[in-house]
């Protein structure tokens, strides 16, 4: 009998005995005693119960298998336990998130700091002992999944696209091949496969999003915009497609120098506002809108967008650092408060944990954000060294280097408060390609 993925909650987690901090944790027992009973009582909006599934294999130790791909791609819901520095979990979560945000909930053991950047998605703490705390955890998981399913409804455009995609074996085979090419660092090969999928299934927004994201990350902005535009047209309520479309529209305008970045609405602004309308909690769209408005010289609305992004993300480094820079530009001084310093310390902890992963997670921004934080904390030597490491990373592209440099230039009016900024900036500018 064919698997009915519309009822499946796929659990992304370590298995067996693993270290979390200084403790040995039995994740098989956690799956059986915490996750399974919590998931199995969740009511589906259309009737029936959610069904837990997991796999007991090290996904990253071999090629992605067809069943693993289908679980990650098609499951109605995914629950990820990010406790501990587990790269398999990080990679599987990345595969799940590449096309869509809805339909995933993240949990971590209460005393374990998040090991990597979980972007706009909250990580819910849970405990497995004593018995009273374990019961509270089961109740929390059931509640989170029940409420989240209202967003990831069976008739959502993304669910419909996934159901159509699942019924096309040739497309499935190609998508699994593309994932394996990405894991083998053959981005060009993955892009070619996604182009084949788009040609076979042009009205499916998900492969278009995947192709667009690869184009974006490799500075192929015209094609990225083409794919994001088509994805948004195919699925008009797909907020992530509108967000990426807005970012690409603004980037293409920067490259072409038209239309003017300070037009009203600015390039990409309309698409980003649509993304925010569809998902008001999407921190990335809010932060991207802040960047578009800043380039349009509408500084007060830009700062408001960054601060709202900080609020909904719980202090993510990206909107935090942009808000600090913009506040300095508006006020003519940095004047970091005690709460600013605390927020910077928390952001540093996130980025430092990401840099310890192999390979570093969210590169090059884990480098660039941590370098900027060190600058604010008065460590000029660490600022420059970490920034250089980010420049030298093989995955860093020129547009990312330039974005970082441009952001630092915005701090020059308050350089007296930031020892090492001017000298470090001059040294980093030498590493940009001549134009």
**What single-letter DSSP state applies at residue 412?**
G
Task: Grade residue 435 by pLDDT with cuts at 50, 70 and 90.
Answer: low
Higher pLDDT, 85 or 21: 21
Matching CATH topology for 5-154 and 155-235?
no
Gap between the Cα atoms of 305 and 283, Å rounded: 9
Give whole-number Cα distances, 48 to 41, 45, 211, 307, in Å.
9, 8, 35, 41
Domain segments of the chain as ranges = 5-154, 155-235, 238-314, 323-435
Classify domain 5-154 by CATH architecture: 3-Layer(aba) Sandwich (3.40)
Question: Taking the CA of residue 28 as centre, how many other CA atoms within 13 Å lie in the half-sphere pointing to its CB?
Answer: 4
Least confident of 2-16, 65-79, 156-170, 198-212: 156-170
Q: Other CB atoms closer than 10 Å to residue 381's CB: what's the count?
A: 10
Q: Which of 236, 166, 226 is nearest to 201 (CA)?
A: 166
Summarised one tens digit per residue, pLDDT across range 334-376 is 999 999 999 999 899 888 988 887 778 788 999 999 999 999 9
Task: Give, to the nearest 10 degrees, the angle between helix 221-234 and helix 205-217.
Answer: 160
Q: Which of 276, 292, 350, 298 is nearest to 320 (CA)?
A: 350
Give whole-number Cα distances, 144 to 10, 77, 330, 357, in Å.
15, 11, 40, 29
Gap between the Cα atoms of 70 and 67, Å rounded: 5
| Confidence (pLDDT) at 164 | 65
Sheet harboring 51-53: ordered strands across? 51-53, 8-12, 77-81, 104-109, 123-126
Category of 262 on φ-ψ map: left (φ > 0), alpha (ψ -120 to 50) or beta: alpha
Average pLDDT over residues 40-62: 78
Whole-prediction pTM: 0.73
Cβ contact 238:257 at 8 Å = no
Rounded percentage of the chain residues whose pLDDT exceeds 70: 89
Least confident of 75-79, 163-167, 178-182, 197-201: 163-167
263 pLDDT more than 50: yes
Give whole-number Cα distances, 364 to 87, 192, 387, 388, in Å.
18, 24, 9, 11
| Confidence (pLDDT) at 152 | 66
Tokens describing residue 216: 């974006």
101 pLDDT more than 60: yes
Average pLDDT over residues 228-237: 93
> According to DSSP H, which parts of 103-204 are helical?
131-151, 157-166, 169-183, 187-200
Gap between the Cα atoms of 290 and 306, Å rounded: 5
Higher pLDDT, 365 or 23: 365
CATH number of 155-235: 1.25.40.10
Average pLDDT over residues 222-233: 97
Higher pLDDT, 228 or 86: 228
Q: Which of 396, 392, 384, 371 is nearest to 425 (CA)?
A: 384
| Confidence (pLDDT) at 368 | 97
3, with CB counted inside 10 A (0-12, 13-18, 19+), is middle
Q: Which of 101, 102, 98, 108 is nearest to 12 (CA)?
A: 108
Residues facing residue 79 across a β-bridge: 11, 105
Average pLDDT over residues 1-25: 85
| Confidence (pLDDT) at 70 | 82
291 pLDDT more than 50: yes
Burial 404-429 (b: 16+ CB within 10 A, else e): bbebbeebeebeeebebbeebbeebe
Tokens describing residue 274: 């649509």
CATH number of 238-314: 1.25.40.10
Tokens describing residue 195: 């182009």
Task: Grade residue 120 by pLDDT with cuts at 50, 70 and 90.
Answer: very low
Tokens describing residue 301: 């609305």
Cβ contact 316:119 at 8 Å = yes
Cβ contact 324:340 at 8 Å = yes
């Amino acid at each position: 009998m064919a698997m009915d993925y519309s009822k499946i909650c796929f659990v992304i987690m370590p298995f067996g005995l693993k270290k979390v901090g200084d403790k040995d944790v039995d994740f098989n027992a956690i799956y059986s005693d915490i996750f399974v009973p919590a998931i199995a009582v969740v009511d589906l909006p259309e009737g029936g119960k959610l069904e837990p599934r997991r796999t007991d294999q090290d996904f990253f130790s071999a090629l992605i298998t067809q069943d693993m791909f289908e679980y990650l791609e098609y499951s109605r819901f995914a629950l990820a336990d990010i406790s501990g520095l587990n790269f398999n979990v990080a990679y599987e979560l990345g595969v799940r998130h590449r096309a869509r945000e809805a339909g995933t909930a993240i949990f971590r053991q209460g005393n374990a700091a998040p090991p990597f950047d979980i972007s706009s998605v909250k990580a819910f703490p849970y405990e497995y002992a004593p018995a009273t705390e374990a019961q509270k955890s089961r109740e929390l998981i059931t509640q989170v999944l029940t409420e989240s399913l209202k967003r990831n409804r069976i008739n959502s455009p993304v669910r419909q696209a996934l159901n159509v995609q699942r019924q096309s074996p040739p497309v499935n085979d190609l998508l699994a091949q593309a994932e394996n090419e990405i894991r083998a660092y053959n981005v060009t090969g993955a892009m070619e496969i996604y182009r084949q999928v788009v040609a076979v299934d042009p009205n499916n927004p998900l492969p278009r999003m995947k192709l667009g994201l690869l184009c974006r990350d490799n500075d192929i902005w015209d094609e990225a915009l083409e794919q994001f535009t088509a994805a948004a047209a195919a699925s008009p309520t797909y907020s992530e497609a509108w967000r990426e479309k807005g970012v690409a529209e603004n980037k293409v305008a920067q490259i072409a120098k038209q239309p003017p970045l300070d037009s009203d609405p600015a390039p990409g602004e309309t698409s980003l506002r649509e993304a925010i309308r569809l998902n008001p909690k999407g921190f990335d769209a809010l932060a991207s809108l802040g960047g578009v408005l800043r380039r349009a010289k509408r500084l007060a609305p830009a700062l408001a967008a960054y601060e709202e992004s900080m609020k909904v993300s719980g202090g993510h480094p990206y909107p935090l650092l942009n808000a600090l820079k913009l506040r300095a530009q508006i006020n003519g001084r940095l004047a970091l408060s005690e709460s600013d310093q605390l927020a910077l310390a928390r952001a540093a902890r996130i980025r430092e944990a990401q840099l310890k992963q192999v390979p570093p997670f969210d590169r090059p921004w884990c480098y660039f954000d941590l370098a900027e934080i060190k600058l604010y904390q008065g460590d000029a030597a660490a600022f420059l060294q970490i920034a250089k490491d980010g420049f030298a990373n093989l995955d860093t592209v020129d547009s990312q280097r330039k974005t970082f440099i441009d952001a630092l230039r915005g701090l020059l009016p308050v350089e007296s408060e930031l020892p090492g900024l001017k000298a470090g900036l001059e040294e980093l500018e030498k590493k940009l390609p001549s134009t």
